[in-house]
């Protein structure tokens, strides 16, 4: 845990459990494996989707949550090696937190502003759910200070890429759009699920795209589509 605390050297998956079923388990596992490879984590040779599911079910059984009750899982994978910036080992360990199933986005339309005090850089690390999350923390504080439900983030080009908690989609002339991963947004599992089932065009998002949109909505693994209104 030392490296996770000092350097944010960790990955995590926020997973929805409904009626005892692990939602989008294969997509969460696939993303975890891909991101672990990017961060050079060494995983146990027997770590597979079945072991991943087994670990989660065991954590739920050991929690105060009833087996068939809806809940939320945070699965965290971190590097265990000592050292400073250079780890002495790339071995990894996991721990799992179990929470009651409270939605992380309010019901109804969300009132959202655009956070402009900091920008998110583009690159492979921008697509990962890691411990380097200060921009999300600060944008969430900014949203609360302005009585908003959430905040949209900008990349280093000034394009809108996501909210602090979800991927961004918008529609225009019955066509659905979302920013590409190259813009710096998180590679969300619900984003991936939607794009596997619906026709979605990846397009850099400018302010005028949202102002002229027929609808704007957010998605993540814990909530259904949440439509938003902009507060400018």
pLDDT digits (tens, 9 = 90+) for 97-110: 999 887 566 556 78
Question: Rounded CA gap, 62 and 96, in Å?
Answer: 11
Q: Which two tokens stand for residue 114?
A: 């655009």
Q: Identify the CA nearest to 165 among candidates 226, 209, 81.
A: 226
Other CB atoms within a 10 A radius of the CB of residue 16 amount to 21
The pTM (predicted TM-score) of the whole model is: 0.92
**What share of the chain has pLDDT > 70, as a percent?**
96
Whether the CB-CB separation of 121 and 185 falls below 8 Å is answered with: no
Q: How many CA atoms lie within 13 A of 225 on its CB side?
A: 10
Question: CB within 8 A of 195, min separation 6: which ones?
Answer: 178
pLDDT of residue 229: 84
Q: Give mean pLDDT, residues 155-177.
A: 97
Q: Identify the CA nearest to 169 among candidates 116, 127, 209.
A: 209
Question: Rounded CA gap, 49 and 69, in Å?
Answer: 22
For domain 2-100, the question of CATH label 3.30.470.10 is answered with yes
Q: For 110-230, which CATH superfamily applies? A: D-amino Acid Aminotransferase, subunit A, domain 2 (3.20.10.10)
* Higher-pLDDT residue of 108, 140: 140
Q: Give mean pLDDT, residues 118-123.
A: 96
Q: What is the mean pLDDT of the chain?
A: 93
**Any idea where the domains of the chain sit in the sequence?**
2-100, 110-230
């Amino acid at each position: 845990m030392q490296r996770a605390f000092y350097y944010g050297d960790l990955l995590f998956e926020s997973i929805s459990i409904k009626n005892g079923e692990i939602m989008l388990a294969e997509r969460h596992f696939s993303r975890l494996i891909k991101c672990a490879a990017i961060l050079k984590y060494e995983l146990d040779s027997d770590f597979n989707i079945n072991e991943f599911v087994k670990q989660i079910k065991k954590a739920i059984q050991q929690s105060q949550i009833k087996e068939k009750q809806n809940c939320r899982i945070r699965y965290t994978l971190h590097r265990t090696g000592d050292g400073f910036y250079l780890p002495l080992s790339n071995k990894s360990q996991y721990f799992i937190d179990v929470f009651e199933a409270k939605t992380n986005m309010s019901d109804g339309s969300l009132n959202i502003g655009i956070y402009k005090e900091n920008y998110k850089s583009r690159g492979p690390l921008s697509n990962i759910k890691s411990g380097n999350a200060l921009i999300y923390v600060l944008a969430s504080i900014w949203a609360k200070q302005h009585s908003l439900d959430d905040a949209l983030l900008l990349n280093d080009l000034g394009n809108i890429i996501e909210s602090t908690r979800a991927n961004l989609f918008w529609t225009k002339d019955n066509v659905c759009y979302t920013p590409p991963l190259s813009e710096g947004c998180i590679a969300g599992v619900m984003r991936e699920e939607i794009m596997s089932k619906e026709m979605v065009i990846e397009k850099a998002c400018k302010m005028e795209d949202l102002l002229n949109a027929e609808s704007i909505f957010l998605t993540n693994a814990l909530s259904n589509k949440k439509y938003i209104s902009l507060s400018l």
